[in-house]
Structure 1
Amino acid sequence: MTKEQLSSAEIKKACDILRRDDGVGSKNYITEISWILFLKLFEEIENIFDDISASKMQDYHFVIEEKYHWSSWAHDKEYRKNPEKMLDFVRGKLFPYLKLLSGDYGTKIAQIFNTLVQPKILSGYNLIDVVDIVDKINKKDFVDSHLLSHAYEEILAKMGNEGGWAGEYYTPRSVIKFLIHTLDPQVGQKIKDPFTGSGGFLVESFEYLKQKSNWDTLSTKEQKKLADNSLFGQEKKQEGYILGMMNLITHGVLKPNINLANTFGQDLNNITGEYDVILTNPPFGGKEASQVYKHYEYPTSATEGLALQYIMKTLKNGGKAGVVLPDGQILFATGLFADIRQKLFEKNKLKYIISLPAGVFAQMGTGIKTVCMIFEKGGNTKNVVYYNLNGKYTKKKLLPLEDMESILEDMKQVDIFDKNLDEKDIDAFNIAGEDTNQNFDRWVVPLEYFENNNYDISPKNPFEKKDIVLSVDENLSLINKGNTGFTQEFENLKKLLKDNDLV
């Protein structure tokens, strides 16, 4: 089958199978499918690596021994006759083996399966039914590991949408790619997503670096260095950690640098900026316990406020951040939120705020409006450029990257961040952005406005020329004034004619 053929219906069928299993709760059938899918795809990817090595007259050393390969147990005829024996093998031999893997890459797989502890499936019949669905993916149906790994991404998204948790882990791919293209990470830089989820930002960053580095021309040693030393992540929730690790491994990052930990629990006093690029969609709308955030300079319990402080702290000087934030109090509220924004202006160059339509996240089951914030650490902010993306997006009409490419192209022409702008400059920039052929609105706001408005960075144009709309009373008053003026002028004219004996 091809990657398109593992349909949402089949994924839903697999989920339904696990729902009926007495050992699988509603919150973990996604994880159960994911480890099964991971083992299937990992064997396929190892086979591809083996073929590549053979073509170069080199030996490939499999991370997983042959007797524990997917095909060795999933296709075993004895297990097919007695599915409970398959379950016994998975629980009693496969998982213990995977937990003890060592070596450069085996350690990471061991971390995943030690986090899982044990499969939750209690029925061998249910296990074999799910295995049969996943087994439809075959290496021969893919021309390379790139397509195979993206099959995992697509299936992960489908599972997430079915399970109702996708909004927590899965950012629309077009938004991720847009931010990566805007920040343009370079080979050799350290890229981090401190709220990794299923790893979408890191996966797409890796694909971007592979293109920049001419991946196929690199030696095996150079490829390993790029994959092992470029990407870093952290995830609080076990499900997200497992999915993120698996996702990166199936994309060829066999040694993911992802920690299972609450990012907000780190003491910011002990953190120095070490990352060149931070790309993330942090949790928002949540709350953290006071003992978690007490070491923050601005100790708000709101996760979006904590996230922005964390990002500013962990970027190195000259580093760049692309962050998805809710179009809410983090942008305009007073108090600690205003203090956080003021620090953002005084210690960083806030360059862009891109307002996205509410429907962009509809596929994740939410209509929340969001913005993308882009800034560089160091210096201070003088002017902020805003883009408002126009368009209507729904669960069925997803936002394609093509709809954001016009903004990317426009950004290449913008050179206004460090200039002292007067009213004419602002008008000229804003008017130049009023191209009716574009799918976005554009305007610039200077520092003075923010200083006078509690550093409110909401995506609204304070210089927009609006049509004057009068109330009924105001219109009647003007008409009355107009009639009064006309009557007076008419009387003056009659007097002038009479005085000159013309009437």
Structure 2
Amino acid sequence: MTTSDIVQKLWNLCDVLRDDGINYTNYVTELVLLLFIKMEHENTESGLLQAHKLPEYARWPEFTSRSGLNLLNHYKSSLLKLSQSTDSLIAAVYADAQTSLKEPRHLEQLIKSLDSIDWFSAKQDGLGDLYEGLLEKNASETKSGAGQYFTPRPLIDAIVELIQPQAGETIQDPAAGTAGFLIAADTFIRGKTDNLYDLPEAKRRFQINKAYLGMELVSSTRRLALMNCLLHGMEGDDEGVVHIGNTLGSAGSSLPKSDIILSNPPFGTAKGGGGPTRDDLTFATSNKQLAFLQHIVRHLKDGGRAAVVLPDNVLFESGVGADIRRDLMDKCRVHTILRLPTGIFYAQGVKTNVLFFQKVSQAATKSTQEVWVYDMRANAPKFGKRTPLTRGHFDDFKLCFGEDANGRSARQDQGEAGRFRRFSRDWITSEKGDSLDIAWLKDENAEDAADLPEPSVLAREAVEELNAAVEELEAILAELGGEPA
């Protein structure tokens, strides 16, 4: 069976489990809880692991040899014990883990499906690709939630190809989601180093254990990320590649500086985290994307490079937003902006961009002298299930970007009729008031009412903007010694 065949087989099982009240996201989580046990069993049987990491009660034969209520009760008991494990990684994978399954027969079906996979062939085809296929299906089938944290793989691959991560560099994603950026960077480096075998042993261990670091706020999403990394051969430190924590809180301030930062911070108002509480950021703001942008600049090493997916409002927001952009253009060379088409994220209607920049220094001024903008949005295809985004859609942009990872290749301004143009810092200041929301092409589809976001999306965006404004005003009031309303 090919990887796609296995993905489809496992996915079809979800339709059976929906009778048990299992939604897509719960199903993928359920698979992860069992997949870790199955993976550990296979690696031990094949000799890749010298000894079992899991205790005897949680080894694969303990589940395949049981049935009925005995199986379901043993599974529930095992999840609780594993969540309390003294092994940091096991405890992380099973943190707050609870099964959504109520029918023993459904658990038996899941176990039999995983047991029937030809593990050797699946590993040859790429277990990581199999797992990412499930994540992508989950994101596309789930109208909210999963789609918020899944960045389309063609976009990730295009960004990584342009940033050109190298063996020995440290790579960070402060809003890791399911770790797509970190895994793509690792895949890129493996492709350049014969799957790391061209590297000396010490450098190979560095790539596996120390090169990558992510932070994720939601424990269930982190669980998906940890499994994704493990299936791709990325182990990380004792806590895994992706740590649990709030990047916009004290946990984020303790993250190290990195050579490369790749990230897609969450859109809108993230659940569960509240507003930013960092006291080491230069500008106080309740806008989470602006706070993430400040974190990225602060945690890049001098000379380091970054690519960040950000919504339009970060490019044009006035007040503190303009202050943060000026600070960004002082400390970093913001050399390229990619205006992304709408419809490529599962949160429909979101207008996004990719900012590419290189850190000069925390004390630098006027580092950005010019910004190149590529408009992939105007007159773009209507992306969605019928017209999926592919790597080929980025070919022209990559050609315009050039071969230098810091945007220093020779470039040509295509003029008002072209998609790629140069804008000086002086022009951005005088004509745009330091807004980086720069467009010049007439979009023939822009006036088509059918292309507008759903009213609920527009209403939600308006509510989020109003809430952000209220938070800003309350913060100002608190500073003045007044009481919030």
Using the alignment, how far apart are the partners of 1:358 and 1:243 within structure 2? 26
- Contact map agreement 1:238 1:260 (CA 8 A) in 2: yes
- Contact map agreement 1:236 1:262 (CA 8 A) in 2: yes
Q: Residue type of the partner of 2:427?
A: Y
Using the alignment, how far apart are the partners of 1:415 and 1:204 within structure 2? 16
- Does 2:449 correspond to 1:451? no
- Contact map agreement 1:267 1:295 (CA 8 A) in 2: no
Query: What are the ranges of 5 or more consecutive residues in structure 2 without an aligned counterpart?
Result: 444-485
Q: Residue type of the partner of 1:238?
A: S
1:389 paired residue number: 376
Using the alignment, how far apart are the partners of 2:68 and 2:59 within structure 1? 17
1:231 paired residue number: 212
- Does 2:155 correspond to 1:155? no
- Does 2:401 correspond to 1:399? no
- Does 2:252 correspond to 1:302? no
Per mean C-alpha deviation after superposition, the further-off stretch among 333-342 and 287-296 is 287-296
Q: Residue type of the partner of 1:276?
A: D
* Cα distance, 1:10–1:213 mapped onto 2, change above 3 Å: closer
- Contact map agreement 2:164 2:405 (CA 8 A) in 1: no
Q: Residue type of the partner of 2:368?
A: T
Q: Residue type of the partner of 2:399?
A: E
* Equivalent runs, 1:51-200 vs 2, <5 Å: 60-64=50-54, 68-70=58-60, 72-76=61-65, 79=66, 82-93=67-78, 96=81, 99-100=84-85, 102=87, 107-113=88-94, 115-142=95-122, 144=124, 147-164=126-143, 165-200=145-180
Using the alignment, how far apart are the partners of 2:415 and 2:433 within structure 1? 28
Give the RMSD, CA atoms, in angstroms: 3.3
Q: Residue type of the partner of 1:409?
A: L
Using the alignment, how far apart are the partners of 1:154 and 1:404 within structure 2? 21
- Does 2:229 correspond to 1:248? yes
* Cα distance, 1:293–1:135 mapped onto 2, change above 3 Å: same
| Match 1:370 to one of 348, 352, 355 | 352
Shift of 1:289: 3.8
* Cα distance, 1:124–1:272 mapped onto 2, change above 3 Å: closer
* Cα distance, 1:383–1:140 mapped onto 2, change above 3 Å: same
Shift of 1:299: 1.9
Number of equivalenced pairs: 427
Q: Residue type of the partner of 1:233?
A: G
* Cα distance, 1:368–1:91 mapped onto 2, change above 3 Å: same
Using the alignment, how far apart are the partners of 2:405 and 2:197 within structure 1? 35
* Cα distance, 1:394–1:448 mapped onto 2, change above 3 Å: same
Shift of 1:355: 1.0
TM-score using structure 2 length? 0.78
Using the alignment, how far apart are the partners of 2:328 and 2:206 within structure 1? 34
Shift of 1:66: 7.3
Shift of 1:210: 1.5
- Contact map agreement 1:354 1:372 (CA 8 A) in 2: yes
Shift of 1:443: 0.3
Using the alignment, how far apart are the partners of 2:211 and 2:6 within structure 1? 31
Shift of 1:149: 1.7
Shift of 1:383: 0.5
User: Secondary structure of 1:460's match?
Assistant: coil
Using the alignment, how far apart are the partners of 1:416 and 1:41 within structure 2? 39
Using the alignment, how far apart are the partners of 2:375 and 2:235 within structure 1? 39
Shift of 1:198: 0.8
* Equivalent runs, 1:193-342 vs 2, <5 Å: 193-214=173-194, 215-218=196-199, 222-255=203-236, 256-266=240-250, 274-286=257-269, 289-290=274-275, 292-293=277-278, 296-326=281-311, 328-342=312-326
1:217-249 deviations in Å (ceiling 9; x for gaps):
446654333110100010001111111111111
Using the alignment, how far apart are the partners of 1:267 and 1:248 within structure 2? 21
User: Secondary structure of 1:444's match?
Assistant: strand
Q: Residue type of the partner of 1:141?
A: S
Shift of 1:42: 4.5
User: Secondary structure of 2:227's match?
Assistant: helix
Query: What are the ranges of 5 or more consecutive residues in structure 1 without an aligned counterpart?
Result: 54-58, 420-424, 436-440, 467-503
User: Secondary structure of 2:414's match?
Assistant: helix
User: Secondary structure of 1:366's match?
Assistant: coil
Shift of 1:121: 2.9
- Contact map agreement 1:384 1:446 (CA 8 A) in 2: yes
- Contact map agreement 1:179 1:322 (CA 8 A) in 2: yes
- Contact map agreement 2:340 2:353 (CA 8 A) in 1: yes
* Cα distance, 1:316–1:291 mapped onto 2, change above 3 Å: closer
Using the alignment, how far apart are the partners of 2:349 and 2:185 within structure 1? 27
* Cα distance, 1:15–1:63 mapped onto 2, change above 3 Å: farther
User: Secondary structure of 1:6's match?
Assistant: helix
User: Secondary structure of 1:292's match?
Assistant: coil
* Cα distance, 1:248–1:267 mapped onto 2, change above 3 Å: closer
| Match 1:36 to one of 17, 34, 37 | 34
Q: Residue type of the partner of 1:89?
A: H
User: Secondary structure of 2:353's match?
Assistant: strand
Shift of 1:432: 7.2
Using the alignment, how far apart are the partners of 1:356 and 1:45 within structure 2? 41
User: Secondary structure of 2:375's match?
Assistant: strand
Identity of counterpart residues, as a percentage? 24
Using the alignment, how far apart are the partners of 1:262 and 1:157 within structure 2? 25
Using the alignment, how far apart are the partners of 1:408 and 1:5 within structure 2? 32
* Cα distance, 1:47–1:455 mapped onto 2, change above 3 Å: farther
Shift of 1:408: 1.8
- Contact map agreement 1:19 1:26 (CA 8 A) in 2: no
2:450 paired residue number: none
- Contact map agreement 1:383 1:447 (CA 8 A) in 2: yes
- Contact map agreement 2:339 2:376 (CA 8 A) in 1: yes
Shift of 1:274: 1.3
Q: Residue type of the partner of 1:371?
A: N
Using the alignment, how far apart are the partners of 1:449 and 1:225 within structure 2? 44
Using the alignment, how far apart are the partners of 2:183 and 2:89 within structure 1? 16
Q: Residue type of the partner of 1:445?
A: F
* Cα distance, 1:267–1:334 mapped onto 2, change above 3 Å: farther
Shift of 1:389: 2.2
1:472 paired residue number: none
* Cα distance, 1:273–1:443 mapped onto 2, change above 3 Å: farther
TM-score using structure 1 length? 0.76
